[in-house]
Amino acid sequence: MEKGGSGFFDLATRTGWAYGHPGVLPSCGVFDLKGSAEDGTLYAALYECVCDFIEWHKPTRLYAEAPLSPQGTKSNMNAWLILIGMVGVVRCVGAQYGLRVRLMNLSKIRSDVLSGLPWNQKQKNGKKPVVEQWCADQGIFTPDHNAADAVVGLEHSLRLFSRKGFARDLAQP
């Protein structure tokens, strides 16, 4: 396995993850986190999963979903606070491994990656079935919408890092 690529996390109780390099189809999956935020077991589970991810893949860059502002979220304040805690866990693990975690807005990512495609406006806004279909169209199997969001986030971060185009474009001779 080639080491040193980028990783992206779509944070939730089913955290989507993706790992890859420019020009190569990424690997992806989900961490099905068990536990509660109230007693900290949810955060402990995420901590272990992110450590395992870093140990296995040895990424040189980490990205994660940026939480919306509390005013911009459609979920309740408790869900927003849990997401903030999850960001803290990922940053903590990243720091332990000498990696800075960059936060990225998934709505912006979806609009950038999905732009220019012949889909209606609702789909361009990144509704999750469309994100999953985009992954399938690229030949990437995603177990659910959390992994699909992570793949799209990874695609965007690879494009920014390479400054040459999306990973699928880099694979072209």
- Domain for residue 65, yes or no? yes
Q: Is residue 132 part of a domain?
A: yes
Residue 151 within any structural domain of the chain: yes
Number of domains in the chain: 1
Give residue 28's pLDDT: 97
pLDDT value, residue 23: 81
* Strongest mean pLDDT among 66-75, 135-144, 155-164: 135-144
In-domain check, residue 82: yes
When pLDDT is cut at 50, 70 and 90, the band that residue 140 belongs to is: very high
Mean pLDDT of 125-152: 84
Specify the CATH number for the domain of residue 30. Answer: 3.30.420.10
pLDDT at 95 over 70: yes
Q: Are 10 and 16 in contact (CB under 8 A)?
A: yes
Residue 1 lies in a domain: no
How far apart, in whole angstroms, are the C-alpha atoms of residue 106 and residue 126? Answer: 9
DSSP string, the chain: ---S-EEEEE-SSEEEEEEE-TTSPPEEEEEE--S-TTTTHHHHHHHHHHHHHHHHH--SEEEEEPPPPTTT-SS-HHHHHHHHHHHHHHHHHHHHTT-PEEEE-HHHHHHHHHTTSS--HHHHTT-HHHHHHHHHHTT---SSHHHHHHHHHHHHHHHHHHSS--HHHHT--
Condensed to tens digits (0 to 9), the pLDDT of residues 61-77 reads 999 998 876 655 555 77
Q: Determine the pLDDT at residue 75.
A: 59
Query: Does some domain include residue 112?
Result: yes
Question: What is the residue-averaged pLDDT of the chain?
Answer: 83
Q: Find the mean pLDDT for residues 166-172.
A: 46
* Domain of residue 69, residue span: 6-170
